């Protein structure tokens, strides 16, 4: 093995590769008792990597958990506004994990956790072309012409959104349930699209991330699942 130190730290499950690079800049990372000076520095199986007095080891077995994120929780380890975090909901005894695919504060549903940062990175990269599925309850004038525009790809405030698979799932009085399937996953993509067409979002639930499904998971519940090889 001969890999970059930031990737090693991520694969050890300590933090994301980006966070690892920040630790290196702050001189928090040691290789064989010497300060690591650059994220591009490489290590082998024989090197001893230490971060904040903790010796790191590569994780060989990928472990994966799925959780039903409640609303009013942020998908982050820190928050300046001191809001509740999804990591606060993890049971005691779990290894260090990274979340896969963020959900914003008022969104709910499927969020994945893994002990291996590189697997998280793979599932999140646009080049991996992984489909995310959302059920969205809205109020407003949902025309088929609007849906056709969205499915072809639209530009909103100079931001281009690629093709989205959108269809009406059901109509329940004033409420309309939409099914969004997208692969790009730009920041607040669904909320920006709905706002553009003056659709008021009542509920936004992620029900699928690649081959992984929310299923019958209850709000706040977490369950370890098998890693699938056909992502």
77 belongs to a structural domain: yes
pLDDT computed for residue 207 by the predictor: 98
62 belongs to a structural domain: no
Other CB atoms closer than 10 Å to residue 138's CB: what's the count?
21
Helix and strand numbers, DSSP H then E, in the chain = 5, 17
The dihedrals phi and psi of 142, each to the nearest 5 degrees, come to -95, 100
Please name the residues in contact with 75: beta carbons below 8 A apart, sequence gap of 6 or more: 69, 85, 86, 99, 102, 103, 104, 111
The Cα–Cα gap between 185 and 51 comes to 32
Are residue 30 and residue 72 in the same domain, yes or no?
Answer: no
101 belongs to a structural domain: yes
16 belongs to a structural domain: yes
230 belongs to a structural domain: no
The dihedrals phi and psi of 195, each to the nearest 5 degrees, come to -65, -40
73 belongs to a structural domain: yes
The Cα–Cα gap between 121 and 15 comes to 11
DSSP character at residue 228: P
pLDDT computed for residue 10 by the predictor: 85
Are residue 205 and residue 220 in the same domain, yes or no?
Answer: no
Long-range contacts of 29-38 (CB under 8 A, 24+ apart): 29/5, 31/5, 36/5
Q: Range of 140's domain? A: 131-209
Q: Count the domains in the chain.
A: 3
The arrangement of strands across the sheet holding 34-35 comes to 34-35, 29-31, 49-51, 54-56
Domain boundary residue, one of 17, 33, 56: 56
> Residue 147 is part of a domain; what is its CATH number?
3.30.70.1560
Q: First-to-last CA distance in the chain? A: 25
> Residue 82 is part of a domain; what is its CATH number?
3.30.2350.10
Question: Hey, is 9 helix, strand or coil?
Answer: helix
Structure tokens at 205: 């639930």
pLDDT computed for residue 84 by the predictor: 95
Are residue 48 and residue 30 in the same domain, yes or no?
Answer: yes
Are residue 218 and residue 202 in the same domain, yes or no?
Answer: no
CB 117 within 8 A of CB 105: no
pLDDT computed for residue 184 by the predictor: 85
28 belongs to a structural domain: yes
Which of 53, 104, 172, 231 is the catalytic position? 104
Across the 231 residues of the chain, what is the mean pLDDT of every consecutive 10-residue run?
89 85 94 93 93 88 95 91 94 89 95 90 89 97 96 94 95 95 90 97 98 97 88 42
61 belongs to a structural domain: no
pLDDT computed for residue 185 by the predictor: 77
The Cα–Cα gap between 211 and 114 comes to 15
Domain boundary residue, one of 56, 77, 97: 56
Are residue 202 and residue 142 in the same domain, yes or no?
Answer: yes
Are residue 44 and residue 146 in the same domain, yes or no?
Answer: no
Are residue 145 and residue 90 in the same domain, yes or no?
Answer: no
Are residue 144 and residue 186 in the same domain, yes or no?
Answer: yes
> Residue 43 is part of a domain; what is its CATH number?
3.10.290.10
pLDDT computed for residue 59 by the predictor: 79
- Catalytic, 104? Answer yes
Are residue 80 and residue 51 in the same domain, yes or no?
Answer: no
């Amino acid at each position: 093995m001969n890999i970059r130190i930031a990737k090693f730290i991520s694969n050890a499950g300590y933090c994301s590769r980006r966070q690892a690079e920040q630790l290196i800049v702050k001189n928090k990372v040691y290789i064989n008792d010497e300060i690591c000076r650059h994220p591009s520095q490489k290590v082998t199986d024989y090197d001893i990597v230490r971060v904040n007095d903790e010796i790191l080891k590569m994780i060989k077995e990928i472990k994966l958990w799925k959780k039903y994120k409640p609303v009013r929780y942020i998908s982050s380890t820190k928050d300046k506004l001191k809001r509740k975090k999804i990591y606060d909901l993890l049971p005691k005894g779990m290894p260090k994990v990274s979340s896969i695919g963020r959900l914003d504060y008022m969104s709910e549903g499927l969020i994945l956790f893994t002990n291996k940062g590189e697997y998280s990175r793979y599932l999140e990269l646009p080049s991996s072309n992984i489909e995310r599925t959302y059920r969205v309850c809205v109020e407003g004038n949902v025309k088929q012409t609007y849906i056709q525009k969205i499915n072809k790809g639209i530009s909103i405030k100079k931001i281009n959104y690629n093709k989205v698979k959108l269809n009406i799932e059901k109509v329940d009085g004033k409420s309309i349930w939409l099914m969004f399937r997208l692969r790009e996953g730009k920041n607040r993509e669904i909320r920006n699209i709905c706002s553009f067409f003056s659709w008021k979002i009542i509920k936004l639930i992620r029900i699928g991330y690649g081959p992984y499904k929310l299923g019958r998971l209850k709000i706040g519940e977490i369950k370890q699942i098998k890693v699938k090889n056909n992502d």
